[in-house]
Amino acid sequence: MTVGVGLFLRAAVAGAIAAAAFVLPGVFASAQQIDMNVVDQPGYVPSPDEEQLSGVYEKQEVFFRSSEQPGTIMIDTSQRFLYLVQPNNRALRYGIGVGRDGFQWSGLQKITRKQEWPDWRPPPEMIERQPYLPRFMAGGPGNPMGARALYLGQTIYRIHGTNQPQTIGHAVSSGCFRLVDDDIIDLYGRVPVGTKVIIKQAVAL
Amino acid sequence: MLSITPLLAAAATFTLGALLGAAGAEAQTLKTVQDRGTLVCGVSQGLAGFSIKDDKGTWSGFDVDFCRALAAAIFNDPSKVQFVPLSASERFDALKNKQIDVLSRNSTWTMGRENDSSLVFTGVTYYDGQAFLVPKSRNLTSALELDGSKVCIQKGTTSEPNAADFFETNHINYELVEGDTVADVVANYLAGKCNTLSTDESQLFALRSQFPKPGDHMILPDVISKEPLSPVVRQDDMQWFNIVKWVNFALLNAEELGVGSKTIDDALKSQKPAVKRLVGAEGDFGKPLGLTNAWAANAIRAEGNYGEIFDRNVGAHSKLGIPRGLNELWDNGGIQYAPPIR
């Protein structure tokens, strides 16, 4: 069973938030704290321009001190970044979309399987919220799972691509971590099955 | 004339008092601030992201928010600050002369500056350092790949010898292209007279944000010099030194503990001992400083924790977009680390 992506709610609100995000950095900061209410759009194929991230969520190498081995994936859900640890205090940083409140989880996992152009089977909870969703969608462009999926342990969660690049930087998915397709393809090529994945949440009070 | 005399007398008395205060073993900066009703904070004359005044006269920035947090810790009111813009050459004298209570002005902590014997740095709020900006089209990932580069640097700055040391140590050939001012350096770079620009990382991000196409340029992650920025106070007042120092530590501890402007009310109900001590629900940590035990909670409620202050002024969600880098918390990839409140 595969948990896909967004949750059913008001697309107009999401559009307003996304639009504001590109205009005012100040608004962006607060928008980031708001769950993005966005409907899945199976079948939608984003344009190359939409796929091109800019600013902080664009893939980049950053200073990153870690006691974890190079090759380890560290996911910082509150900052919406995925780090692939590199040697010499570096990491490759990718912008991600993360699980909404209530779907957030943390812990240590390993990549147990890799899949190109994964199929999509929305689980019953998602069908309940979005009854019009297809029960099955074969992998390929327009699939909400995007171009690649990395399976996390024995869980139903994945690191996967997306056909909705505008959701990067937001809390939208059902617990999965989503990257734009270029980024998930890049990451997929760098990490083997067995890669350690550490998922960090904001500290509980 | 006669009518002015009392004023002159008052001024003379004030000056005398200030001198006596300076000569005393323990100056009373906190009392002075409380009696005055405002904190007087020295800042820069305008540096994007750190301290800059808008056209309505409102100050903003990372260094500005630190002073607001300090004011909130003292008065439970972040607006009780008066900002005094200071040039690089006048900043330390302004502190020595008691023109300001605290200097929060992107100042590098060095031994020489503390050997001056009248000043003391309170703790690193921002780890800066020299870095390199290059066109993205060069496809570089590391400063070690800069062999054969033409490097634009401002003449007469410490950036020149720093870069020379780095290139020599790493056997990298380069050509220096000097500019007299920052504007010259940027103009040279954008005109293609060089293909690398080097100065402190924070400034590189600020400069890039003003470029016609910021997205065409990148800052390499290597930092080749140490520029730890810290607030500064006078050495004659341990109580004041501790207040400024612990406000910084409180903001850092708050981020580490998940306490921020949006979670402060939940934090007041927390059962975690470290959180309870931070927000004043347990222990007696503010009163010995001359404040209330809600000192840290008031600062956090007003300005947010360290991460929030960084983020909105210079970080990922500001115009500058500086990655946290060294300034990430010690348990999250960086080196920012505050002693515990206990």
B273 reaches A (C-beta below 8 A): no
Which residue in chain B is spatially nearest to A88 when comparing CA positions?
Answer: B222
> Mean pLDDT lowest for which of A67-81, A120-134, B167-181, B290-304?
A120-134
**Tokens of residue A135, six digits:** 């029960």
pLDDT digits (tens, 9 = 90+) for A53-86: 878 899 999 999 988 999 999 999 888 999 999 9
> Mean pLDDT lowest for which of A11-15, A69-73, A181-185, B146-150?
A11-15
Q: How many domains does chain A fold into?
A: 1
Of B34 and B15, which is predicted with more confidence? B34
Query: Could you tell me the pLDDT band of residue A37, with boundaries at 50, 70 and 90?
Result: low
Q: What is the CATH number of the domain that holds A196?
A: 2.40.440.10
Task: Tell me the mean pLDDT in the region B80-95.
Answer: 95
Give the CA angle between residues B182, B185, B187 to the nearest 5°: 110
pLDDT of residue A36: 57
Q: How far is A172 from chain B (nearest CA, A)?
A: 19
Indicate yes or no: CB of A63 within 8 angstroms of CB of B333: yes
Residue B331 pLDDT greater than 70, yes or no: yes
B267 reaches A (C-beta below 8 A): yes
Query: Could you tell me the pLDDT band of residue A35, with boundaries at 50, 70 and 90?
Result: low
Task: Tell me the mean pLDDT in the region B292-312.
Answer: 98
Q: What percent of chain B has pLDDT over 90?
A: 82
Residues of A with CB under 8 A from a CB of B: 25-26, 28-29, 32-33, 54-56, 60-66, 74, 76, 79, 83, 90-91, 93, 200, 202-205
The domain defined by B21-127+228-262+298-332 folds into: D-Maltodextrin-Binding Protein; domain 2 (3.40.190)
Q: How far is B138 from chain A (nearest CA, A)?
A: 14
pLDDT digits (tens, 9 = 90+) for B111-142: 999 998 799 999 999 999 999 999 999 999 89
Of B88 and B65, which is predicted with more confidence? B65
N residues, chain A: 205
B21-127+228-262+298-332 and B130-225, same CATH topology: yes
Of A26 and B19, which is predicted with more confidence? B19
Domain assignment present for residue A126? The answer is: yes
Query: Could you tell me the pLDDT band of residue A102, with boundaries at 50, 70 and 90?
Result: low
Indicate yes or no: CB of A25 within 8 angstroms of CB of B259: no
What CATH architecture applies to the domain B130-225? 3-Layer(aba) Sandwich (3.40)
Q: How far apart are CA A162 and CA B100, in angstroms?
A: 54
Q: How many CB pairs under 8 A join A and B?
A: 61
Domain span at residue A153?
11-43+59-200
Indicate yes or no: CB of B321 within 8 angstroms of CB of A55: yes
Domain assignment present for residue A50? The answer is: no
Q: What percent of chain B has pLDDT over 70?
A: 92
pLDDT of residue B305: 98
Query: Could you tell me the pLDDT band of residue A101, with boundaries at 50, 70 and 90?
Result: low
B contacts of A93 (beta carbons < 8 Å): 323
Positions of A annotated as catalytic residues are 160, 176
Query: Could you tell me the pLDDT band of residue A88, with boundaries at 50, 70 and 90?
Result: confident
> Going by C-beta distance under 8 Å and a sequence separation of 6 or more, which residues neighbour residue B160?
B153, B154, B176, B178
pLDDT of residue B13: 45
Give the CA angle between residues B74, B235, B26 to the nearest 5°: 70
- What are the residues facing A159 on neighbouring strands? A150, A177
Domain assignment present for residue A49? The answer is: no
pLDDT digits (tens, 9 = 90+) for A104-126: 677 899 999 999 999 998 878 77
Which residue in chain A is spatially nearest to B216 when comparing CA positions?
Answer: A54
Domain assignment present for residue A173? The answer is: yes
B contacts of A63 (beta carbons < 8 Å): 221, 223, 323, 325-326, 333-334
Residue B183 pLDDT greater than 60, yes or no: yes
Residue A32 pLDDT greater than 50, yes or no: no
pLDDT of residue A104: 65
Instruction: List the domain boundaries for chain B.
Output: 21-127+228-262+298-332, 130-225
CA distances from B17 to B21, B24, B32, B48, B100 (A): 6, 10, 11, 37, 16
Task: Tell me the mean pLDDT in the region B165-173.
Answer: 94
pLDDT digits (tens, 9 = 90+) for B185-240: 999 999 999 999 999 999 999 899 889 999 899 999 889 999 999 999 999 999 99
B contacts of A21 (beta carbons < 8 Å): none
| HSE (side-chain half, CA atoms, 13 Å) at A33 | 12
pLDDT of residue B94: 97
N residues, chain B: 342
